[in-house]
A and B are shown apart, each in its own frame.
Chain A
Amino acid sequence: MDPYQLLNLLFQFLDSFAVIVLAAVGLAIIFGMMGIINLAHGEFILVGAYATVLSYHRIGLPLVVAMLVGVAITTVYGVVLERLIVRHLYDRLLDSMVATWGISLIMIQGVRILWGNSLDGVGTPFGSVSYGPYSYSTYRLVLAGIAVGVLIGLYVLFARTDFGMRARATIQDKETARSMGVDTDRMYLSTFAIGSALAGLTGALYAPTRSVGPEFGQEYVVEAFVTVVVGGASVIVGTSMAGGLLALVKSGATNQWGQFIGLAAMLVTAIVAIRLMPDGITGLLEDWRRARRESE
């Protein structure tokens, strides 16, 4: 394999990694942390994409601003949904599945009724980097950087700030947190809002790279769930490690044997990973840590 082809592989990996992590990260918070099996996750992404494209084309905002609008609108959407519906579903893991499936149906068809079968495309910015006979989209590589940035940002938010501590406390043990004076209701709302914002971000970021129509969000759902489950309970460690593993398998297999094998290999890896690590990668790491502590 010549060095150019290695570069291909590296870029394809980064590209897959970005897609998987960004698809999963919002869900990791809403599903992984809060226990809502959000089958409408794709439609949160859809809201982000639509808000971005519509404010770019119809209001004429610059793309970056339009993306921020996309994130903001998805956050508001998430907050409204949390107040109206989702807050009735905390601790009802399985009911949340059917309710969010309903939301998903309504959103997809509602978007179709309001804005038709597709939106005008937004061109991908930045052009490409060339090397030898090959080139790769600069924007896709930037997305990989953003994915890493988002993970670091979340780490700081949840591990290093007072807010993060209260949020985690609330979700781990609501009663205790409340007795310690945490406004748990508000914590749930803000955590859900963060999850929504991240889903919106994904929609905003990928709107310029794909065709935007009512089914836009559906493309992310499978990868998102698989990643979150393989990752396990911890949002940051789980998502990044699972994202890394799945992206490696997918991009490697795709590069060698084509797209079908790549897709199949990723799904089969997920099955095997769940079997070998019933509590996800996070669970495995915790076991190791515990074992080491005990042996010391």
Chain B
Amino acid sequence: MSDRRLSRRRALATGLSGVGLALAGCLAEEGDGNGGNGDGGNGETTGTTGGDDAPKIAVLEDRSGNFALNGTAKWQASLLAVEEINADGGVLGEEIEVYDPDPQSDNQRYVELTQEAIVDEEVDALWAGYSSATREAIRPTVNQHDQLYFYTTQYEGGVCDETTFAVGATARQQLGAVVPYLIEEYGPRIYTVAADYNFGQLSGDWVRILAEEHDAEVVDEEYIPLDVSDFGSTINNIQGEDPDFIMSMLVGESHTAFYEQRANTGLDIPIGSSTTMAQGYEHRRLDPPALTDMYVGVNYMEEITGERNEDFVDRFYEEWPDAEYLNQEAQNNYFSVYMWKEAVERAGTFDQEAVIEELEAGIEVEAPEGDIELDPATHHMTHHMRVGHADENHEVTFSEEQYIEPSFLHEVGCDLTEESEQTQYEPGEYYDEA
């Protein structure tokens, strides 16, 4: 594997020197004295490079630090897409290059590297970040330069931003698949445990909203700081309430301990979630039966059936034989690279404004999860949402496939085709239950 990677690096390096030459020519022609920072960039303020430069995308995903578990596969899937596209003749006949540093799960580093990607590398599109905090850290930079940005993680939802495309499923889409299903299946009394930060708290709001909509109630909720990994008291509290099911929006490695401790304590109340299995492949890592009766709302998991996905999974592991899991976000990275390619080809140029215009004209992708389309008004995807269920042997089966729109942003009136915005809406402002 390392040999392969090496060869890619070398290819990249040769490509880079090519850009240098092209730019030098460019500068000599223009002669406006605007550039020459010696880093291969020509000092343009926005990344609206024309079609004559070698096209380049930035893939900033964590391969070390806290989020490497989720980020590594995102990076791998992006490179797979680029490799496939290049082998197939590139985009507009040109090979795509990739700028892929390792931000090491450090948000500050993300800001610096995003700047570098936009200003020095002049990338034509940017994929970056796993956590919401990362997205919010780099969004000001992205906005400053009107950079086309794809954020692919499933997240709390609500980002309405003219150059940002949040193509992962939102909390409303994921929870909207799993909460009603579990109310139907097990009953109306819900106990929420969630990570004590933005994502978890907003997800908790959504559970309450969805409970209300389906005549159920949240009997209690608990928010857990991210570095807590002992859940004795939480489990006792749940036992005291004896809910029909638990909704868990726990996040990160420390929180993963909850599932093992739940099983060990003999707490057999089913759990619904938007965060497990599809991202951190807990069903592969934890010793069964830790995840018995875990239900998760997802748009993708490696295990979903169908020839298209099986083919995708095969190609992924052929490219990355040592990969640990092909997670939901990796799939999102993969299809969004293709979606970008499609938009570029329709636009006939790499110019970002033109590409965004094409994306906003509506676009459909044949993703491994199924055929899905971009919602022009909100820059989110309509996803095939499924409820994945793990049994006592951690075998995953799926039910309830629904095609769910990103409806929340429509409700709040986000229409990026009409009005440019750079906001993040929250359910609290629109629902009493939140």
User: How far, in angstroms, from A116 to B280 measured CA to CA in the complex?
Assistant: 13
Residue among B68, B260, B324 making CB contact with A210, cutoff 8 Å: B260
Residue interface bits B273-317, CB-to-A below 8 A is 1, else 0: 000000000101111101000000000000000000000000000
Residue among A12, A15, A259 having the largest count of chain B Cβ atoms under 10 Å? A259
**Bound state CA distance, A136 and B261, in angstroms?**
9
Interface flags for A202-234 (1: CB within 8 Å of B; 0: not) read 000000111101111001001000000000000
- Count of residues in B whose CB is under 8 Å from the partner chain: 41
- Distance of A264 from chain B, by nearest CB (Å): 9
Q: Determine if A213 and B233 form an interchain contact, defined as CB atoms under 8 angstroms apart.
A: no
| Contact present for B64 and A258 (CB under 8 Å) | no
Within 8 A of A (CB), among B202-257: 222-225, 227-230, 232-234, 236, 239-240, 242, 253-254, 256-257
**Is B69 on the interface with A (CB-CB < 8 A)?**
yes
A50 in the interface (beta carbon within 8 A)? no
1/0 per residue A119-151: CB within 8 Å of B? 111111011101001111101100000000000
The verdict on B21 contacting chain A, using a C-beta distance below 8 Å, is no
Docked-complex contact A128 and B69, CB < 8 angstroms: no
Question: Which of A112, A120, A126 touches B68 (beta carbons < 8 Å)?
Answer: A112
Give the residues in chain A near B254, CB-CB below 8 Å.
210-211, 219
Known: A8-B233, A121-B285, A210-B229. A112 touches B253 (CB 8 A): no
- Minimum C-beta distance from B221 to chain A (A): 10
A44 contacts B by Cβ under 8 Å: no
State the CA gap A133–B241 with chains docked (Å).
9
Give min CB distance, B222 to chain A, whole Å. Answer: 6
The interface stretch among B155-163, B264-272, B359-367 is B264-272
CB nearest neighbor in A for B242? A133
Q: Are B260 and A211 in contact (CB under 8 A)?
A: yes
Whether the pair B266, A260 counts as a contact (CB closer than 8 A) is no
In the complex, which residue of chain A has the Cβ closest to the Cβ of B70?
Answer: A117
B225 touches A259 (CB 8 A): yes
Which partner residue on chain B sits nearest A125 by CB separation?
B264
B426: CB under 8 A from chain A? no
B253 x A258 contact (CB < 8 A): no
Chain B 110-140 near chain A by CB (<8 Å), digits 1 or 0 = 0000000000000000000000000000000
Contact B261–A135 (Cβ < 8 Å): no
Cβ contacts under 8 Å, B64 to chain A: 109, 112
Assess whether A161 is interfacial by the CB under 8 Å rule: no
| Nearest chain B CB to A60 CB, angstrom units | 14
- Contact status B266-A135, CB under 8 Å: yes
Q: In the bound complex, what is the Cα–Cα distance between A116 and B1 (angstroms)?
A: 14
Does A123 contact B236, Cβ atoms closer than 8 Å? no
The size class of the interface chain A forms with chain B is 35 or more
Report whether B236 and A12 are in contact in the complex, using a CB–CB cutoff of 8 Å.
yes
Q: How far is the CB of B303 from chain A (nearest CB, A)?
A: 17
A118 to B260, CA, bound (A): 15
User: Is B378 an interface position by the 8 A CB rule?
Assistant: no
Q: With an 8 A cutoff between CB atoms, is B95 at the interface?
A: no
B287–A122 CB distance below 8 A: yes
Closest to B228 in A: A259
B232, B290, B322: residue with the most chain A Cβ atoms closer than 10 Å: B232
Known: A112-B64, A215-B253. A209 touches B239 (CB 8 A): no
With beta carbons under 8 angstroms apart, the residue of B68, B224, B225 that contacts A117 is B68
Q: Which residue of B lies closest to A8 (CB)?
A: B236
B69-A12 in contact (CB<8A): no
Report the minimum CB–CB distance from A20 to chain B (whole Å): 10
- On whether the beta carbons of B256 and A211 are closer than 8 Å, the reply is yes
Partner of A136, one of B72, B232, B256, B286: B232
Q: Quick check: is B196 within 8 A (CB to CB) of the other chain?
A: yes
Hey, which chain B residues are within 8 Å of A121, CB to CB?
A: 260, 285-287, 290
Q: A112-B64, A121-B290, A259-B228 are in contact. Are A213 and B266 (CB under 8 A)?
A: no
B45 at the interface (CB under 8 A from A): no
Q: Check: A189 CB closer than 8 A to any chain B CB.
A: no
Does B397 interact with chain A (Cβ within 8 Å)? no
Closest Cβ of chain B: how far from A262's Cβ, in Å? 8
Q: Does A19 contact B (CB under 8 A)?
A: yes
- Complex Cα spacing A279 to B159, Å: 51
A12→B72 CA distance, assembly (Å): 36
In Å, the complex CA distance between A116 and B287 comes to: 17
Q: For the complex, what is the distance from the CA of A128 to the CA of B394, rounded to whole Å? A: 21
- Residue of A117, A130, A208, A259 touching B72 (CB-CB under 8 A): A117
* Given A118-B324, A128-B265, A219-B254, A15-B196 contact (CB < 8 Å): no
The answer to whether A258 touches B266, judged by C-beta atoms less than 8 angstroms apart, is no
Q: Which residues of B contact A188 (CB under 8 A)?
A: none
Instruction: Give chain A residues whose Cβ lies under 8 Å from the Cβ of B287.
Output: 120-123
> Does B422 sit at the interface, judged by CB under 8 A?
no
Per the bound structure, the CA–CA distance linking A202 and B223 in Å amounts to 27
Known contacts A16-B230, A112-B64, A215-B253; 7 additional CB pairs below 8 A are A19-B230, A117-B69, A124-B264, A126-B264, A211-B254, A211-B256, A259-B196
Which 8 interchain pairs have the tightest Cβ spacing? A123-B287, A211-B256, A124-B264, A210-B257, A117-B69, A121-B286, A121-B287, A8-B236
Query: Can you list 14 residue pairs at the A/B interface with Cβ under 8 Å?
Result: A11-B232, A11-B236, A15-B232, A118-B69, A133-B239, A134-B240, A136-B265, A137-B232, A210-B229, A215-B253, A251-B233, A259-B223, A260-B223, A263-B227
